[in-house]
Chains A and B, each alone.
Chain A
Amino acid sequence: MRTTARTAPAAVPADTAPSGTPKAPGTGDAPALSLRAVRRTFGPTVALDDVTLDVAHGEVHCILGENGAGKSTLCNIVFGTVPVSSGDVLLDGAPFAPASPADAIGRGVSMVHQHFSLVPTLTVEENLLLGRSGLRPDRRALRERLAELRADFGLVVDPSARVDRLSVGERQQVEIVKALLPHPALVLLDEPTGVLGPAEIDGFLSTVRRIADSGTAVVLITHKLAEVMRVGDRATVLRGGRVVGGGRIADLTPERLVTLMVGREIGGLDAVLAATLGVTGPDVAGPPAHGPTTTRARARARAEEPAILEVRGLTVLGPEGARRVDGVDLAVAPGEIVGIAGVEGNGQSELVAAVSGSLAPEAGSIHLAGETVTRASPARRAALGLGVVPEDRHHEAVVPGLSVAENLLLGRLREHRRFLLLDRRSMRTRADELAERFDVRTAGTDAPLSSLSGGNQQKAVLARELSLDPLTCVVAAHPTRGLDLGAVDDVVTRLREAAHRGVGVLVVSSELPELLALCDRILVAYRGRLLGPVPCTDPDARDRVARLMMGTAA
């Protein structure tokens, strides 16, 4: 059955591309890229099913979908990292079955990956020359090509700069230059803006537009609707590996796209979720929809209570001795949700590490529930009721090789001992109960934690941290990163519930709309300091935070 026939865009003649005249090599009537009934399975999981779509020369084709919808698999198929299980891929009308990325590049396909693929200790030039064959790379040809790219697309890179000295935005620029070097006919961009700040995103999107205008076909994988509306020509929405809709952006509304992505009407969505999707930013829907805990009166009442978590003059040094956190003061009252926004790398990670006990501060003090815990062990902090949702789930939050039950109870094995042995039965009972209460979906709590999906792993972390007894304060670093909408919804609800019970909550996130909808006030991390606060009830909160993120005074 061809369920896609109705909604999948038919072959788009090149002349329907809304802007620019195609002048890329090999421009014929055939689309730059065609997928015909492509299917890809991983064991029993169907990642892509009967996907048919066309990307014309000179258009920005956006692929949207939730996590696990198959967006990345689609990219990997076209870039030669994964073969199709069945179906055809056509490049410029010719069959295309790349066996490796090198193969794909040879056929004029370039890709910018979600995570940077640059060697940090090499210079930009050396990075760009990597992968070229020959003993003596042609540096002069490279410089000429760089000059060309600068003239055509306004892409400026310093070839002699070392990559690890570059900002995130500059690295992204290098990635794009790297992708454009071999004159590609098709550029794949896999979630390219995830790590960029607002200003960098603006610059990036205009570059994307210029690339498409030069006749190159661009496939942009994203879940940010605002980006799609801004640069996209056409969109295809994937859900569960199938094409569920799409068409010309001009004919689509954001609401329609969200409905397609999520598979339900927006009305049923949490305010935070809607904000995350960019459907109803605070500026659109007026003041953000607040959770039950957030009213001005409550906020005032809280201001008089002593803080549950207090940080004074905290300074944390990075590995090279740089002041990653520079004399930060911070207080979180019971029942208050405080957000820390900011472009990544401005000291948020180090601040969380110091508060959670993973990193010893250089100076300053940390007080939790009336006790000084500046250098206390994580166990001591947990005993005082500090729950921590670490930033890097696999590195620090869980032990993927252990079972779900073991992960949930590792910190309190003392409560599960019978004689000298572990009481596995009581562990299982407790773990089952926690998994049910926090809606962790497992094949059983004996299954290894690594068998859970990202969202369920995060739910397990929350289950462990929020079930501390007593629980006085929660520090959550990027708690919704990598999660699909359902899981985001769940995490946000749990944090709100905790605050409602009088727990102080500190959330670090780079997702501004989410913070605006969740928090009482927002601080902005900028070069190791905290700027603000900006109360979220402020109608200009969004703009003020955005300005602070770029280091301009509010």
Chain B
Amino acid sequence: MNLRHPLSVAVLAAAAALAVSAVLAALAGATPVEAGTALWEGMVGTPYAVGSSLGVMAILLLVATGFIVALRANLVNVGGEGQICLGAVAATAVGTALPESVPAALALPAVLIAAAAGGAAWASIAAWLAVSRGVSEVITTLLLNFVGVAVLLLAIHEEALLRQEVTSSETLPQSAPLPDAAHLPLLGVEGSPATVAILLSLALAGVVAVVLARTATGLRLRAVGLSRPAAHRLGLPVDRLRFTSLTSAGAFAGLAGGVLVATAPFVLAEGLSSGYGFSGLVVGLLSRGSLAAAVLVAGALGFLVSGGINLQLAAGVPAAVTQITESLLVLAIAGSAAWTVTRARRGRTRGRTVRSPFRRPPVDVSAPPDPPGRPAAHEPAPQPVGTTLEEARS
């Protein structure tokens, strides 16, 4: 067996991660077999487990899809968490305000559109700052997360806003449940909580993949992401494209928030997202801009999260250990993939050390940097000397 094969590397890395996790689980009192069984059962053991895994996957995929759209324009959306919260708040506001008589065909789209609009509005703050003021979207979207979570908390603690009617001292700070018409329909598999959310997220990922790869808009976004000055020079509406892509990322995350509210228990409550925004970001980053990869990574992570919950419940392993297990697995697989890619790249360019940015002589920053390219591109034009030949010879 070739130990350097990418697959072997990934398998070995994953095995190592699992071994470390098994030790931790053993320290917490669960034998490796118990822990392994619990994890597996929680992932795919029962229709219920599969259904809840798919539910998590749908949320992660929606956030990651948005992340990839923004990434095409070279914008990094770190604000998934806040956008989910705002999407959920908007969805709840619309959902609880709907009269009972509204049919599902209207109520559900209304709730989901409101969710997307809420997320988009939240992201548009950062997008506007990035486009008009040049503020880094990494910072603004990240900071808006905290505000977004706070907005959600405020909404569910104030009766004037979205808190359910307080009837006793035991009334929880959460919204009233959404009407039945606004619930996401189940897929209808016996004993499975899976909703149409998974289909919705897969369909949207497919549409986005086509838009990015096959349309003029996708190509323009890519050009803007690769070189803003060149895109501007070629007459592309650079600012508009950047604004739209980051706002779309917010819309997708907001939609994820709407999906969370429109699935059981159909209320807006504290901890609604519990880090899906960041896990979605991880999915987006790991899939390196490919939606097909995003589907796979979201699936893997979704099942892992779901299995981790069962690990706590069935094997009595502390939540911290399950989170360590998940993180180690992600690190192991992503790390081995990155290692493989780097190695392949290094192999391709072996013997071209001159071109490595680390080996090039430092360059006066005021001078244009050497462009990467064939060796020929590194030499300047033949430039005439300021003296004529006659002078030169004399």
A interface residue numbers (CB < 8 A to B): 41-43, 45, 47, 66-68, 71-73, 76, 81-83, 85, 101, 111, 113-118, 120, 164, 171, 191, 193-195, 197-199, 201-202, 223-227, 229-230, 254, 275-281, 283-284, 356-358, 377-380, 382, 388, 390, 392-402, 406, 410-411, 413-414, 416-417, 420-422, 424, 450-455, 457, 478, 480-485, 488, 510-514, 542, 546
Contact = CB atoms under 8 A, between A and B. Distances in A.
A379 B235 contact: yes
B379 A164 contact: no
A402 B381 contact: no
B148 to A, nearest CB: 33
A194 B383 contact: yes
Given A41-B351, A193-B383, A276-B384, A422 B233 contact: no
Given A393-B371, A410-B223, A68 B376 contact: yes
Contacts of B234: 378, 382, 410-411
B383 A224 contact: yes
Contacts, number: 244
Nearest to A380: B235
14 contacts: A43-B349, A82-B354, A120-B365, A202-B386, A276-B383, A281-B388, A377-B235, A378-B232, A411-B236, A416-B216, A417-B216, A421-B210, A452-B373, A511-B381
A453 B374 contact: yes
A458 B360 CA distance: 24
Nearest to B229: A396
Interface in B358-379: 359-379
Given A82-B354, A230-B392, A278-B389, A484 B380 contact: no
Nearest to B394: A230
Given A193-B385, A201-B385, A226-B388, A421 B214 contact: yes
A117 B363 contact: yes
Nearest to B359: A81
A198 B371 contact: no
Contact of A399 (B231, B360, B388): B231
B289 to A, nearest CB: 12
A413 B216 CA distance: 6
B352 A454 contact: no
Given A198-B386, A398-B227, A451-B374, 17 more contacts: A71-B379, A72-B378, A113-B361, A194-B383, A229-B389, A284-B390, A379-B235, A390-B233, A397-B230, A397-B233, A399-B223, A400-B373, A402-B223, A411-B236, A454-B373, A454-B374, A482-B377
Residue among B373, B374, B386, B388 having the largest count of chain A Cβ atoms under 10 Å:
B386
B364 A202 contact: no
A455 B385 contact: no
A402 B384 CA distance: 34
A39 to B, nearest CB: 12
A114 B220 contact: no
Contacts of B215: 420-422
A116 B235 contact: no
Interface in B264-320: none
A199 B216 contact: no
B379 A68 contact: yes
A199 B365 CA distance: 25
Residue among B216, B219, B369, B383 having the largest count of chain A Cβ atoms under 10 Å:
B383
Nearest to B376: A68
A202 B388 CA distance: 12
B contact patch SS: loop
Given A358-B232, A417-B216, A455-B376, A81 B383 contact: no
B387 A198 contact: yes
B382 interface: yes
A406 B210 CA distance: 17
B183 interface: no
B393 interface: yes
A81 B353 contact: yes
Chain B interface residue number, banded: 35 or more
Contacts of B354: 42, 73, 76, 81-82
Contacts of B7: none
A511 B219 contact: no
Nearest to B381: A481
Nearest to A47: B375
A226 B385 CA distance: 6
A291 B178 CA distance: 79
A43 B232 contact: no
A510 B215 CA distance: 41
A480 B351 contact: no
Contacts of B352: 42-43
A115 B375 contact: no
Given A422-B219, A454-B377, A279 B389 contact: yes
Residue among B210, B232, B366, B376 having the largest count of chain A Cβ atoms under 10 Å:
B376
B222 interface: yes
Contacts of A377: 235
A457 B374 CA distance: 11
B226 interface: yes
Given A422-B214, A450-B372, A197 B386 contact: yes
A394 B218 CA distance: 21
B384 A224 contact: yes
Contacts of B232: 358, 378
Given A117-B363, A392-B368, A393-B371, A410 B219 contact: yes
Given A82-B353, A396-B233, A284 B388 contact: yes
Nearest to A279: B389
Contacts of B229: 358, 395-396
Contacts of B231: 399, 410
A117 B233 contact: no
B389 A284 contact: yes
Given A395-B229, A396-B233, A450-B372, A414 B216 contact: yes
A546 B386 contact: yes
A226 B230 contact: no
B350 to A, nearest CB: 8
B293 to A, nearest CB: 19
B223 A254 contact: no
Contacts of B388: 226, 278, 281, 283-284, 542
Nearest to B371: A394
A242 to B, nearest CB: 15
B380 A201 contact: no
Contacts of B364: 115-118, 120, 171
A81 B352 CA distance: 10
A42 B375 CA distance: 9
Contacts of B220: 410, 413
B193 to A, nearest CB: 36
A278 B384 contact: yes
Nearest to A114: B380
A400 B372 contact: yes
A67 B379 contact: yes
A194 B382 CA distance: 8
Contacts of A382: 234-235
B384 A275 contact: yes
Interface string B61-97: 0000000000000000000000000000000000000
A511 B383 contact: yes
Given A356-B233, A399-B230, A413-B219, A115 B367 contact: yes
B71 to A, nearest CB: 14
Contacts of B382: 66-67, 223-224, 276-277, 484-485, 488
A422 to B, nearest CB: 5
A398 B384 contact: no
A230 B389 CA distance: 9
B379 A514 contact: no
A482 B383 contact: no
Contacts of B226: 399-402
B236 A194 contact: no
Nearest to A193: B385
Top 6 nearest A-B pairs by Cβ distance? A198-B386, A379-B235, A116-B364, A68-B376, A454-B377, A394-B371
Interface string B173-217: 000000000000000000000000000000000000010001110
Contacts of B391: 226
